[in-house]
Structure 1
């Protein structure tokens, strides 16, 4: 255990400058965002800066929308005393579940036994403690399900699975992220140089419906802003292929690869480049013979011995560095294209 703790401590402190201890009750600065949320703002700003290199961008238009997470959790527009009280006013989660769904195990139907609160989508797999994600389960069912996905746990009972999934609702993670980053994003884009204009979501909806377009993220981006239809303004063309950019990072500072128990399984080399390639580079591989004979394309994961690994659409393959050709240096992003299946614009009247 001490050896495992030592490896964990080193992973946290390696390659970090010295910083004096600070109190745990310090106040976060104004505009602070969690790193998992802040990277969305930083990634957007980075892509806008990249576009400015290739095109004369003079204005940036974005949709700034605020979501009412309380109304979304209930599933209807709240008003009056409904809004400040909420679903659990005067009670708690256990009492609400017992009164709303009866003292019955959701998985086996047992009654008259002690019941536990179980997460339909386990917390360890990204589930939340939202009320719609909670059910009552007896101790044997709760222990048997554990962190197993509910679709796998109830695979042999599709009717019960559909009944339980019907009570779940869309997670509010995306709405919370939008509420946290919208003002910060407007401020960050406005500081780049081009004029940044924020528009409400209602205007985007009116522009899109007036042009008779389907709802997709790409179409919403085209419909953002002031579309002066009275003077002939319209959307005349929609893209058929869309560039998809995903942040992948630039590697890790970890020097050891642990197993599932936390003990070191192998030590990573401090040298990042091997035989001219770095992990994350996009490469083209031509394998003449062997198990993976053929032509492949994907991101490479380098090895010191020269037998690199490539992630392809069908899985991972091992290829010698002699059979590789560099296509693009890894820059922390993964690029792909997808087809945009939307109908052409047809302006509506009225």
Structure 2
């Protein structure tokens, strides 16, 4: 455990031990300027001795890992959990807004075409993740004299993950090429058979069911499954979607990470000097070497 220190000119110094902090406070040589994280400011003194402090950021879509170290010891470690309910909350708000609009202002023309998004706009759920990364990085830079920042990210080839044999022009042809719509593709993918009862109900009418709510999972093929009319009604009554095995695990986090990695790097580099970007597979290879 360390206590973070500022000198009398509000410049960052190397942290000290709790014992030394107690002596500084008892001798009235320092004052408390922050309780969380616990930070002291010296009432007098020089610039102090500083070591090279390296900050490592393990970027992610659900959790952010941070570690600030010198050559010999760890000064600061933390794990930040990110919110995952933004998309669902916005979808709920959108439903209420549309219902209210239809009830009270149905005479107004729709204005979807005249809304322009600013340059560099990101979806709110992705923007939150970007802002959270910047917030925790600023926090560490406010309490430690960081001289180098390293951001570890991941890079994914989503089509290669799903189809290892893909190459050349295959990257330009999505799995739905040649189908009229998503529903037709899902029916073909599932062999025109109910995936809940495997045809045991003998119901010839097939529907496409959302595994996860449309407002959070969308109309992506990975969120759709073929069921007969009988099983469709059963699923809506009993809500047993958690028992359904998805055709794909989904790559929402990998897609968001592909967007975030450059945004995080560019904005952190604009704020602080000596910022470096590395990839997770290189870190793993270094550890094994």
Instruction: Write the distance in 2 (CA, Å) between the matches of 1:102 and 1:38.
Output: 39
Query: 1:149 offset after TM fit, Å?
Result: 4.1
Instruction: Write the distance in 1 (CA, Å) between the matches of 2:256 and 2:176.
Output: 24
* TM-score, normalising length: structure 1: 0.45
Q: 1:90 and 2:169 equivalent?
A: no
Whether contact under 8 Å (1:122, 1:149) holds in the other structure is no
The 3 A distance-change label for structure 1 pair 26 and 98 is closer
Q: 1:79 and 2:167 equivalent?
A: yes
- Pick aligned residue for 2:249 from 165, 170, 183: 170
Q: 1:25 and 2:114 equivalent?
A: yes
- Please, which runs of 5 or more residues in structure 1 have no aligned partner? 10-21, 152-160, 211-350
Partner of 1:46: 135
- Please, which runs of 5 or more residues in structure 2 have no aligned partner? 1-95, 102-110
Structure holding more helix per residue: 2
Runs of 4+ with >4 A deviation = none
- Pick aligned residue for 1:203 from 282, 285, 288: 282
Tell me, what secondary structure is at the counterpart of 1:81?
A: helix
Instruction: Write the distance in 1 (CA, Å) between the matches of 2:143 and 2:135.
Output: 13
Whether contact under 8 Å (1:121, 1:133) holds in the other structure is yes
Q: 1:142 and 2:232 equivalent?
A: yes
The 3 A distance-change label for structure 1 pair 89 and 49 is same
| Counterpart mapping for 1:279-290 below 5 A | none
The 3 A distance-change label for structure 1 pair 25 and 204 is farther
Tell me, what secondary structure is at the counterpart of 2:127?
A: helix
- For the aligned residues, what is the CA RMSD? 3.0
The number of residues matched between the two structures is: 180
